[in-house]
Structure 1
């Protein structure tokens, strides 16, 4: 296992793609391996940040590093629901957006202990891995309407890969 972790760390520079969100190449086992790596390594990365770094908001309307993690918790909650519902609801599954700023505000992530936030994020993402690993291959092709202006439909596999790419996009902001 240590060889895999070293390979992933070297290949992805803390697992963060430079291109941003998922651009189409879908390798679910690799994406899940990357997410598992984050689950194992995120506490160490966060624990290296000072209290000032964790709480600093670059602007009044921008999130702190703690609030970004809170946003990723909200993202995990919403995507866990999507990954399960897409498997049994009629296609195309309609992705409903969620009120990101309002959720970060009302959940008051800025004032929660970082240990609490890390544990919650890890637990949700362990469940996501469990759910994704149990999705039959044919269901990864189920059609999803992400409600983009382009009206382009996607697949469940694409949505899963995009979730992990979105997570890594935010880690780039936290740790850069």
Structure 2
């Protein structure tokens, strides 16, 4: 888990600086049919919010934890990330993720083994969910940087 946390912190710190250097019009340009780079960052905010809830909630709700998916497209549209001030969006992304880092650093080893039931009834554990979150973050950061 320590490797995932170190990678996570590096992604946050390096990209806070990098994202702040990207021109607003580059962030807002619709280069694909799905999302602009700004909307991808908004999706990362939504992901961070949902995972922050998951990473904390799993500690006090009935086990096994029932993973609840969310509608990514609807949330990006409803939160109006395309119209949001880019500096505010970057700060929101950074601050929510810094809280996730704090949670990841404080999680007990035994909690990493808590079982999570996905919507398709397959089973993972908190360790997998946390490390997968970091991989998901990196994937979308690479999309923004491309």
Fold-level match, TM-score > 0.5? Answer: yes
CA distance in structure 2 between the aligned counterparts of 1:97 and 1:171, rounded to whole angstroms: 21
Matched residues, number: 146
**What stretches of structure 2 of length at least 5 have no aligned partner?**
none
The match for 2:36 is 64
Q: What is the 5 A alignment of 1:152-171?
A: 152-171=122-141
The match for 1:46 is 19
Residue aligned with 1:154, SS: strand
The Cα shift of 1:94 comes to 0.8
**What stretches of structure 1 of length at least 5 have no aligned partner?**
1-27
Deviation by residue 1:70-118 (Cα, 9 ceiling, x = unmatched): 0000000000000011112122211101111111111111111111011
The match for 1:141 is 113
Structure with the bigger percentage of helix: 2
Q: What is the 5 A alignment of 1:14-33?
A: 28-33=1-6
TM-score (ref. length: structure 1)? 0.78
After superposition, the CA RMSD in angstroms is 1.3
The Cα shift of 1:152 comes to 2.5
The match for 1:87 is 59
Segment drifting more, 68-77 vs 86-95:
86-95
CA distance in structure 1 between the aligned counterparts of 2:27 and 2:20, rounded to whole angstroms: 10
